[in-house]
Amino acid sequence: MQATALGETPRQQFLRGLRDGVPIGLGYLSVSFAFGITAVSRGVPGWIALLISMTNLTSAGQLAGLDLMVIGCAMSEMILTQCVINLRYALMSVSLSQKVDETVRLRDRFLIAFGNTDEVFAVASGQPGKVGRYYLFGLIVAPYIGWSSGTLLGTVASGLLPASVMAALGIAIYGMFVAIVIPPARKSRAVALVLGGAVALACAFRYLPVLNRVSGGFVIIICAVIAASLGAIFAPIPEDSEEDATT
């Protein structure tokens, strides 16, 4: 049983991942709750909505898929839509492949890839240095439970939580994102500029005519590719560094 540079046992790594996943799971509750309600309101049985959440584990893709399955679209259209909306995960998976340490075996990759959501990726990326498999396994647990149980709750009882509490929970995921990006942006001017560039582009795609018609899945890919490319061109990371997310 190997320990990391931090001297943590596998059990400690797993528990640290588990703890870091709790805010993600909480944030997912409200989003998947809304998905459960939406699915039932469109006439999809609750158990199928739950099955979708337990096998897909993605918000935008599931919502788009729901719309398509209700109208009975062609299977090719379903496949194409899922590819476009979820393409950002390919980018994240390449990035995460460079972040994991040697404890992550091939068979672990098949499992970890399933849980590589936007938020899991974000938290894993925010860790200093490399991440190991025990941490990643722990990190995936709470989001998976939150996403599945939120869907179940949504399908069973739409009026379970007061609207005011639901509205407040909606910001949880974003609050977590802010907590991930602000400290490194404070330390590194290049990270701050990449972040600012991505935000400026996202605003343009939200508020400018024509641009605001581009679908959400594309917007994230376009903004991320442009901002990260500019960062890589104008502020390449030093050669031969054991690149570390905190430096």
Partner 1 sequence: MTTSIPMLLLYTFVMAAVTYLIRMLPFVVFRKPIKNRFIKSFLYYVPYAVLGAMTFPAILYSTSHLASAAVGLAVSVILAWFGRGLLTVAVSACAAVYLAEWVMVLL
Query: Is residue 81 within 8 Å of 64, Cβ to Cβ?
Result: yes
Give the CA distances from residue 20 to residues 37, 55, 138, in Å, rounded to whole numbers and listed in that order: 27, 22, 8
Return the bridge partners of 100, or none.
131
User: Looking at beta carbons only, is 11 or 186 nearer to partner 1?
Assistant: 186
Distance in Å, CB of 3 to partner 1, minimum:
22
Comparing CA positions, the residue from 242, 224, 240 lying closest to residue 232 is: 224
Torsional sign, CA 233, 187, 120, 23: negative
HSE-up of residue 177 (Cα within 13 Å, Cβ side): 11
Q: Output b/e per residue, 120-136; b: 16+ Cβ within 10 A.
A: bbbbbbbbebbbbbbbb
User: Looking at beta carbons only, is 3 or 51 nearer to partner 1?
Assistant: 51
Comparing CA positions, the residue from 49, 56, 47, 37 lying closest to residue 143 is: 56
Distance in Å, CB of 230 to partner 1, minimum:
8
Distance in Å, CB of 163 to partner 1, minimum:
7
Distance in Å, CB of 216 to partner 1, minimum:
9
Where does residue 29 rank: exposed (0-12), middle (13-18), buried (19+ CB within 10 A)?
A: buried
User: Looking at beta carbons only, is 145 or 226 nearer to partner 1?
Assistant: 226
User: Looking at beta carbons only, is 40 or 153 nearer to partner 1?
Assistant: 40
Distance in Å, CB of 126 to partner 1, minimum:
7
Distance in Å, CB of 19 to partner 1, minimum:
8
